[in-house]
Amino acid sequence: MVTKLKDTHILPMVGFAVVLLVMSLAANTLSPAFGPQQPQKKQFVAKLSGKNEVPPVNTASTGTANFIVSPDEQSLNYTLTVHNITGVIGAHIHWGTSTQDGPVVMSLFNSSTPTGKVNGILAKGTITTSDIKGNMTSNPVMEIVAKGTMTSNLRVQQIQELVGSVSDLVILFTSSDAYVNVHTLMHNNGEIRGQIGPTK
């Protein structure tokens, strides 16, 4: 026995099929936009000036430090740019708030002889976890970390335990508990500095 479909049955079925077809085409067209998203690279910046030093330094020098963290937080690229500064002997990432001097966590630039006048990129590179751990035992960092009441070895050990990876640096950067300090021959404790925070 053959059952014939009436027009009243066919039209809703055709309409439903059309809706399904449109939805399928839309999904295929829009899938790249709504598909799995790639992790965003975290970016941080520090604006450097003499007024940020503790105590403030009267200088016309300025600078900017930019940091881009890899999605897996295994490395970070940095660029340190300075302007109108002379006699740079070092630049480091320090652990501390904007109102205190803290220990060195990572060296960005070290020079056995003071630079001439610099207007542009002072240092750039890539930091990995092994760089952080290796930096802790280098002599220039040890000399600065040794300042304070604790012995240098104890301070290095404590810092290594708390900041031993790029992910640990990201935590400090996110909470603005780290800063960049550029040291010069005229201002050994730092001529320009700035707190590191998320790029806005």
List phi, psi (to 5°) of 182. Answer: -110, 120
Tokens of 166: 């790029």
CATH topology of domain 42-198: Immunoglobulin-like (2.60.40)
The pLDDT assigned to 152 comes to 45
Region label for 153, one of left (φ > 0), alpha (ψ between -120 and 50) or beta (otherwise): alpha
Q: CA 179 to CA 158: how far, in whole Å?
A: 18
The pLDDT assigned to 35 comes to 52
Tokens of 102: 């803290």
* Domain positions in the chain: 42-198
104, with CB counted inside 10 A (0-12, 13-18, 19+), is buried
The pLDDT assigned to 200 comes to 78
The pLDDT assigned to 4 comes to 54
The pLDDT assigned to 145 comes to 41
**8 Cβ contact partners less than 8 Å away, ≥ 6 residues apart:** none
Contact (CB, 8 A) for 191 and 50: yes
The pLDDT assigned to 15 comes to 55
pLDDT in tens, the chain (200 residues): 555 555 555 555 555 555 555 555 555 554 445 555 666 779 999 999 999 999 999 999 999 999 999 999 999 999 999 999 999 999 999 888 899 888 888 899 999 899 999 999 999 999 998 887 655 444 344 344 444 433 444 455 556 566 778 988 898 899 998 999 999 999 999 999 999 999 97
